[in-house]
Chain A
Amino acid sequence: MGLVLGISAACGTGGGDGGETTINVYYAPENNFPKVVEDCNRQAGNRYRIQYNVLPRGADDQRVQLARRLAARDRAIDVLALDVTWTPEFASAGWIREWTGQHRAEAENGTLAGPLETAAYQSKLYAAPKNTNVQLLWYRTDLVSRPPSTWDEMIAAAQDLKSRGQPYQILTMGAQYEGLVVLYNTLVESAGGKILNDDGTQAVMDAGAVQALAVLQRFATAGVTSPSFTNQLEDDVRLAYQGGGGAFQLNWPFVYAAMQSGAPDIAAKTAWARYPSIQPGTPSRVTVGGYHLAVSAYSRHPDEAFEAALCLRSPEHQKFSAINDGVPPTIEAVYDDPEMEQAYPMRDEIRAELKDAGARPSTPAYQNVSTVLSATLSPPSGIRPEETARELRGSLQDALESKGVLP
């Protein structure tokens, strides 16, 4: 695809410190991101050069590496990848800069509301959304004629397939980690519930949250999961589905591209639909994932860093990343691009889910909340809705105040 070459006026070489200004970007592994970086370097002329430093693959490992560097005031980080759940933590620790003025306006321009909300903390913008993410329901068209619209329907369909001796499993992430929290958060949001109050200071675990516990427990004990359910991460789920054991898969859109090359026969029999809801007639509210780009508080070249971040998430680069790496754009107009129709066929379902997406709780202590949730919910078959909710009200409150011990 042709990228527009911005010819920038060469107005000074940006800093008289000799040599070229290097902007160090710490970003998650993304196959074709180096091409985006290259293009931005071309656009920057000789004012700065972006250096792409690849973070580990797992979100926890990324966060640990960034937190260690920033806590040590590492001046060699300029731009960093921020998972949507880290914004409050990094902002309140004083590790990332607020976006203001022209930069803020450009970051907000045309950006979808759901992802943008997760880049703000206490009504200040701390990052520019680079890509978003929502899980979809993937199902086998040779086994299922019409995609189920609720969890009850899906579980019943799987039990029916099981009784007829056909592949029946509903595959999704159930290991004790963030993936289980994403699953639970989607259920809570779909049931109209709340885990924490809106400013993230009190654990509430209301009726919707209790109903979500019941649904999760029922799903885990209905005999429709994989035996490995409680030890599966994203890629395990993808592989199990590609192996032909599942009739349904709840997973991120990356599985689409991976399936085309990994299991073309299964891919040909796979379609996608909106994530199932809890109440018939009320659509699901699916947890948003994705990455922002933030500028480090310890960067020596903040102006260039903001500019580089904006270039890396510009509309044309988001389109390029969506088509080549499968990551859903955060800028709404990109979805309407004619090129997207062919290369990104599930764009309508993704956009529909993003319209009323559910964010995860927003608090600087999110990691504590997540650790407590995943430990308490694992294994989901052991959930006793009322009792588990009562337990969580206490342990989540401790986690918010960073009192007590994390499991």
Chain B
Amino acid sequence: MKQEEWRLAWLLCAPAVIVMVAVTAWPIVYSVWLSLQRADLKFPQQQEFVGLENYATVLSNDYWWTAFGITLFITVVSVAIELVLGMALALVMHRTLVARGLVRTATLIPYGIVTVVAAFSWRFAWTPKTGYLAEAFAQGAPLTERASALAVIILAEVWKTTPFMALLLMAGLALVPDDLLKAAAMDGAGWWQRFTKVMLPAMKPAILVALLFRTLDAFRIFDNIFVLTAGANETSSVSMLTYNNLIKGLNLGIGSTMSVLIFLAVAAIAFLFVKIFGAAAPGSDDGGRR
């Protein structure tokens, strides 16, 4: 490419780059910088550079690893359930002949409701005396015990984000060529064989993208836990813990350290998906052609 074209390309990109640097890159750099300081708003005179001390503190702390385990557990279980349910929903939406618009709209409603509002509904529904679910399905108060509270959190997550999964998978279903399915049927493949041998391989890029998006999202779970249990009975996620230290505790050093660690964990998840499973960003060329 000619030099002038390069110049023009950069000029055209510049506004976007400047905005991204201002709103994304600078805060990230700043939190990395803060994570290397002792910085606490309560003790403004005591700010000093402490190197990696904050990382040692966080990584040797039980609260952090408990929250990390809980976060991983919620992520894996909820994404797995969402994948199965989302696939079923996507198939239904894809196949529906009558009232297609209605079916798709109804499916998307949970995704359209603000998480905090939905979480409050779940909270009331699972509280004895005020809630129908607690009266019908539970003895005692499910939100006051660890196992049942985690189950309710996962249920709320799954209910809320399955439509998103279904939407991404439906886009993948559109990629499956109809004649391929017909040819397989001609060769005597049953429904299950067509699903596993033809549809799933053709949908692989879409599935991986859906999984990647949901995993990254689920790992940062905050609002459902904040409303449902506020982290009681060891149900804190890493984001809850960061909020407690950074926003409530006003400890910028430790809080930023946790933010950076979450950032690294999310980056590691994305890296795994891309390198090991070969997920590709939507629109990139080699997706689905290997």
Contact = CB atoms under 8 A, between A and B. Distances in A.
Interface of A: 60, 63-64, 67-68, 71, 89, 92-94, 175-177, 226-231, 236, 239-240, 243, 245, 364-365, 367-368, 371, 375, 378-379, 402-407
Interface size bracket, B side: 20 to 34
Main secondary structure of the interface of B (DSSP, over half): loop
Contacts of A378: 232-233
24 contacts: A60-B248, A64-B247, A71-B41, A176-B233, A226-B128, A228-B127, A228-B129, A228-B143, A229-B144, A231-B127, A231-B141, A243-B129, A364-B42, A365-B42, A367-B250, A378-B232, A378-B233, A402-B43, A404-B254, A405-B57, A406-B249, A407-B63, A407-B231, A407-B244
A83 B203 CA distance: 56
Interface string B201-230: 000000000000000000000000000011
Contacts of B61: 404-405
Contact of B144 (A230, A364, A375): A230
Given A364-B42, A402-B42, A407-B236, A176 B249 contact: no
Nearest to B243: A64
B144 A406 contact: no
A406 B232 contact: no
A367 B250 CA distance: 9
Contacts of B115: none
Contact of A231 (B41, B63, B229): B229
Interface in B239-255: 241, 244-245, 247-251, 254
A93 B41 contact: yes
B58 interface: yes
Given A228-B141, A243-B129, A176 B244 contact: no
Interface in B9-65: 40-44, 57-58, 61, 63-64
A227 B64 contact: no
A177 B248 contact: no
B140 interface: yes
A407 B241 contact: yes
Contacts, number: 99
A239 to B, nearest CB: 7
Interface of B: 40-44, 57-58, 61, 63-64, 127-130, 140-141, 143-144, 229-233, 236, 241, 244-245, 247-251, 254
B248 A227 contact: no
A230 B250 contact: no
A365 B254 CA distance: 15
Contacts of B127: 228, 231, 236
Contacts of A60: 248
Contacts of A226: 128, 141
Given A371-B248, A407-B241, 4 more contacts: A367-B250, A368-B251, A405-B63, A405-B254
B41 A245 contact: no
A249 to B, nearest CB: 15
Closest 4 CB pairs of A and B: A176-B232, A228-B141, A230-B144, A405-B61
A254 to B, nearest CB: 19
A129 B128 CA distance: 38
Contacts of A68: 247
Contacts of B140: 227
B248 A231 contact: no
Contacts of B241: 405-407
Nearest to A379: B233
B64 A405 contact: yes
A147 B65 CA distance: 47
Contacts of A93: 41-42, 44
Contacts of B57: 403-405
Nearest to B252: A71
A239 B129 CA distance: 10
A178 to B, nearest CB: 11
Given A175-B230, A231-B144, A406-B248, A92 B43 contact: yes
